[in-house]
A and B are shown apart, each in its own frame.
Chain A
Amino acid sequence: MQQHMQNNDQNNGWKSRLEDVNAFDGEEIINGHAAWDALYNRLHKPRRKKATWYWMAAASIIAVVISVFLLQSPMNQPEIISTQATTEQRATVNDIKPAPQIEIVAISPQNNIAAPVSPAKKQVKIKVIEQRKKELTAMVLEPVEEIAKEIVPVVVPGDEKVPANEQLTTVQVKPSLKVVHVNELGTDQQNNIGRPGSDYSVLRIGTNNKTTQSAGKIGIQISTAKTSPVN
């Protein structure tokens, strides 16, 4: 028993020596100050890291929400934008009413045919209108009543649907009739305008010579009449 206890003491002897710092005298086990500095930095300065991560996470969430919002909104907006665009362009066309002999041929409501609404075409429309303005300024204008044309059915290629705003614009001129824009029409001959016996009326928008010359302003005269064929 005594020997066993002695053995235990001996056993604990070399083991305890291994854990005794003083037994390693003269040898630096660890550079305590440097290690403490490293530990201190870890203990007392990790909050910044965490905070930056939190901020980054919050910012990314906000970015995701905004991007989702932006991606969704254009899906709903195109119709509105295009409607606005057509309204604006139609408005510019209406503003250019002073151009002489610009014809708007209204088609009977039974046919219900209207102009196509492609943005490229509209740009072309505006160019054509401007070109016509230039051409017509050089021309001597006939009185509106004389030039009144016969109602001619006009079939515009690719006519399918008319946006609501265009219908509204048409209503401004004459509520019961659909308006086909001038640039979609060729010459009278090309379009076979003036076919005898048709029930179509013609709207003519032109400048009054007098007004243009005297006041220097462009006047608009709209007249509707049932006329005989031009030819």
Chain B
Amino acid sequence: MDTAQMLKEARQGSAAAQKCLWDSWCKKMMLVCLRYLKNEQDAEEALLDGFYKFFKNLQGFTYHGDAALHGWLKKIMVNECLMQLRKKNVFSIVTESAAEDIPLPEEALNNLSAKEIMALIVQLPVGYRTVFNLHVMEGMEHKEIAALLGIAEGTSKSQLSKAKILLQKNLSNYATAYAKQRSK
């Protein structure tokens, strides 16, 4: 059964079609949630909330290919994660204006496995992590991020630069630890 057909049946309330869609997308979406929420239970809750909204609002979605579906689902999940963060009251960003344009250590990141990169991102404090995910992973502009999080644009920029600095630091620490392990 193709995705369009599954979506059509899921819209009509078919549990089988919904299960097929769930099986196809749940792991990918769980990875998205895990990037925003450190706690696995919170991430799973956000995932379930997101899929619930997805199935309930399927009537308003027009299928234009898997990329569109992926984008829509991802957007729902990101929103759910942000809602979870707000609900838990862990989302506090201190207003800062000074921001440096710091490049990402792309080469170093490319040498790491997906698991290792995920671990590095999750180690970041919640404010840094959120802005980093929204800007670097989701490709949102600072203006959008500022509007979404209710912060100043400058704050978003400074959070991102600090996130990059911390990521570099953690990366170097990780490399050192890895080198030591290898030498042993």
Contacts and interface: CB of A to CB of B under 8 A. Distances in A.
A binds B: yes
B51 interface: yes
Contacts of B27: 21, 29-30, 32
B2 interface: no
B52 A43 contact: yes
Interface in A7-65: 7, 10-11, 13-15, 17-21, 23-24, 27, 29-30, 32, 35-36, 38-40, 42-44
Nearest to A9: B110
B4 to A, nearest CB: 21
- Is chain B's binding surface mostly helix, strand, loop or mixed? helix
A8 to B, nearest CB: 10
B113 A36 contact: no
B113 A18 contact: no
Contacts of A35: 26, 44, 47-48
Interface in B18-40: 18-19, 22-23, 26-28, 30-32, 34-35
Contacts of A40: 15, 18-19
Contacts of B118: 18, 24
A46 to B, nearest CB: 9
B15 to A, nearest CB: 6
Given A14-B106, A21-B31, A29-B30, A44 B15 contact: yes
**Residue of A7, A15, A39 with most chain B CB atoms under a 10 A cut-off:** A39
Contacts of A7: 106
Given A23-B114, A30-B27, A18 B19 contact: no
Please tell me the size bucket of the interface on A: 20 to 34
Given A15-B137, A19-B28, A36-B19, A24 B114 contact: yes
Given A15-B137, A19-B28, A38 B117 contact: no
B32 A19 contact: yes
B182 interface: no
Given A21-B28, A35-B26, A35-B47, A14 B19 contact: no
Contacts of A10: 106-107, 110
Contacts of A36: 19, 22-23, 26
Contacts of B117: 14, 17-18
B180 interface: no
A153 to B, nearest CB: 87
Nearest to A13: B110
A43 B55 contact: yes
Contacts of B35: 18
A129 B82 CA distance: 87
Nearest to B74: A19
Contacts of A42: 48, 52
Interface string B54-91: 01100000000000000000000000000000000000
B147 interface: no
B146 interface: no
B184 interface: no
Given A14-B109, A29-B31, A32-B27, A20 B48 contact: no
20 contacts: A13-B110, A15-B137, A17-B114, A18-B121, A19-B31, A21-B27, A23-B114, A23-B115, A24-B114, A29-B27, A29-B34, A30-B26, A30-B27, A30-B30, A30-B44, A30-B47, A32-B22, A32-B23, A36-B23, A44-B15
Given A17-B113, A17-B117, A23-B115, 19 more contacts: A10-B110, A14-B109, A14-B112, A15-B137, A18-B35, A18-B118, A20-B114, A21-B27, A30-B30, A30-B44, A32-B26, A35-B44, A36-B19, A38-B48, A39-B51, A40-B15, A43-B15, A43-B55, A44-B15
Closest 7 CB pairs of A and B: A23-B114, A14-B109, A17-B114, A30-B30, A21-B27, A29-B27, A29-B30
